Amino acid sequence: MINLLIWILFGYAAGYVASKIMGGKSGFITYVLLGVLGALVGGALAGLLGIHAEGFSPGAFIIAAAGACLLIYIFRKIKN
């Protein structure tokens, strides 16, 4: 349960960072929501690949940010 909360918090921050990295016209709220979802997806994918980054660690944040960037990319492809 606590890991889920950590991924959500990281997702919030990762969504902000990803919005700055990816740029674009979508609003801040959209990127934060995609960041939270992306962090959860990134955490799940990392777990499936045997990568375990738990708690408040730099590795966990990188996974969250990568997941957020991935979802922003997918969101843009679907939107266009």
- Selected residue with higher pLDDT from 78 and 40: 78
- Residue 23: phi and psi, rounded to 5, are 60, -165
pLDDT one-digit tens code per residue, 17-64: 877 887 777 777 777 788 888 878 888 888 889 887 766 778 878 888
Residues 6 or more apart whose Cβ sits within 8 Å of residue 66: 38, 42
What pLDDT sits at residue 76?
82
Q: What is the pLDDT of residue 62?
A: 84
* Stronger pLDDT, 50 or 6, i.e. the higher one: 50
Judge if pTM exceeds 0.75: no
Is there a contact between 34 and 71 (Cβ–Cβ < 8 Å)? yes
> Among residues 58, 68, 80, which one has the least CA distance to residue 34?
68
Number of helices (H), then strands (E), in the chain: 3, 0
- Judge whether residue 4 has pLDDT over 70: yes
For residue 69, CA distances in Å to 16, 35, 50 come to 10, 8, 21
Task: Output the pLDDT for position 1.
Answer: 67
